[in-house]
Amino acid sequence: MKTKRFSSITQGITQVLHSRTLSFILLSLSLLLGMSISHSEQMDNTILLFSPRGNNFQDTIKGLSDDLAGDAIIITKWMNNTTENDSIAQSIKKINPRLLVFLGNTPLQAYTRYQKQHSDKKFIPAIALSALHLDRQLKYLNNTIGIRYEIPAVTSLVQLRTIVKAPIKRVGVIYRQWMNDFIVQNKAYCKQEDIELVAIRMPNSISINRLSYQLKHLLHKDIDALWVVNDNGLLHARFIQNVWVPLLKNFNKPVVVGIQKLTKTNLNFGIFSVEADHYALGVQGAEMIAEIMANGWKIDTHKVEPPVSINNILNVKLSNKKNIRLNQQKLEQLDTLIQ
């Protein structure tokens, strides 16, 4: 029988077995004896996960592991920008998993290259989590589904509506052309909650002057709040410094951002930030995996889900400075308050 050594295969390993005792004994025995684990016996419900290192990714892996405990073994392979493309092929060959999980864009891009290089092969099911602009990437991947990383505006704005006293009915957003589908989808979600997204589309190539002109124009459109999309092109340091911060200085309405650091008081930018709850993202991913498992390790849908659970931060200090009145009793619903 062909055997494989865990230690030589993976840099990180997450054992998810039915009981704590059993996992402890197995791990101890494997350490004690330098044991080789039988491929066919041990790897039945093995999931191979590729991820960069980082706290958020660790939280997602914990969510996945906690939720799949007793049903699957998750083997984690850490990746970074310098990881060779061959490592995916080697790991799949060595571990022979039932399913692949990719966290973040780097591993997913590497897997896209892998699929391209092995286009004659049949690919096992794969799940992608924590990757930006997932819909675009999944167009080039077979047998892969996932959960988007971007938080839909409606999730942030419904939460914002509960914590600020002023009505939130019209919300402005500036976006670049390539995000058009995302904005169309978000407009529809917001409409369900009676919120109108007032959107200004810009070309993919932008300048300080053009962005400045459009933002000024948007801020004069009688909007109740501003939603800033996570787009590196729009949030480049020179645009933050020369456009966003100076123009938002006198905008005394809520600015919702998708990056925690943009709510820092000294930046004077976002008052409310919403990010994915990374642990819950893992649980949501685990549920997708459990469905695939129950379906005989087959993906029968091509759906990409939005993330359901969020963590939020409110900069109370900045809200007060801008005279944005808050429902004090609702603040306990938020994860972090910057006072």
Partner 1 sequence: MFSRSQSFIIAIITYFIIGLPMANAIDLYVFYPTDIRPKSLQKKINSNCPNINTVAFGRIVDFYREIDKLPPKAILSLKPVVSHDKVTKTPYTSHLNGSKQGQYNEEYILVSIDKPVNLKHLEQLKIGVLDILGRREMKRFVNKLFKKPINIKRVIKTEDFLPLLTFKLADAIFVSKTTFEKLQKKSKQNLITTPTGIHIGLAVTGIYKQKNDEITQCIKNMNRQTNRLLGVDHWEAQP
Query: Which residues here bind partner 1, judged by CB under 8 A?
Result: 20-21, 24-25, 28, 31-32, 66-68, 70-71, 152, 154-155, 158-159, 161-162, 189, 192-194, 277, 279-280, 283, 286-287, 290, 305-306, 308-309, 332-335
Residue 287: what are its φ and ψ, rounded to 5°?
Answer: -65, -40
> In the 8-state DSSP scheme, what is residue 196?
E
Dihedral sign, Cα of residue 31, residue 32, residue 36, residue 41: negative
Q: Residue 82 CA to chain centroid, in angstroms?
A: 22
| CA-angle at 80, arms to 77 and 83, nearest 5° | 80
Q: Shortest gap between Cβ of 255 and partner 1 (angstroms)?
A: 22
| CA-angle at 280, arms to 276 and 283, nearest 5° | 135
The residue (of 244 and 272) whose beta carbon lies closer to partner 1 is 272
In which element (H, E) is residue 146 found?
strand 144-148
Q: Shortest gap between Cβ of 112 and partner 1 (angstroms)?
A: 26
CA dist 147 and 162 (Å) reads 26
Q: Shortest gap between Cβ of 312 and partner 1 (angstroms)?
A: 10
Q: Shortest gap between Cβ of 181 and partner 1 (angstroms)?
A: 15
The residue (of 174 and 286) whose beta carbon lies closer to partner 1 is 286
The residue (of 140 and 189) whose beta carbon lies closer to partner 1 is 189
**Cβ-contact 189, 153 below 8 angstroms:** yes
Q: Shortest gap between Cβ of 54 and partner 1 (angstroms)?
A: 21
Q: Shortest gap between Cβ of 88 and partner 1 (angstroms)?
A: 28
CA dist 225 and 254 (Å) reads 5
The residue (of 152 and 270) whose beta carbon lies closer to partner 1 is 152
Alpha-carbon distances, residue 272 vs 254, 258, 283, 285 (angstroms): 7, 8, 25, 26
The residue (of 83 and 305) whose beta carbon lies closer to partner 1 is 305
Query: Helix, strand, coil: what percent of the chain each, to 5?
Result: 45, 20, 35
Q: Shortest gap between Cβ of 324 and partner 1 (angstroms)?
A: 19
The residue (of 32 and 237) whose beta carbon lies closer to partner 1 is 32
The residue (of 241 and 333) whose beta carbon lies closer to partner 1 is 333
Alpha-carbon distances, residue 47 vs 125, 127, 305 (angstroms): 10, 10, 20
Residue 21: what are its φ and ψ, rounded to 5°?
Answer: -65, -45
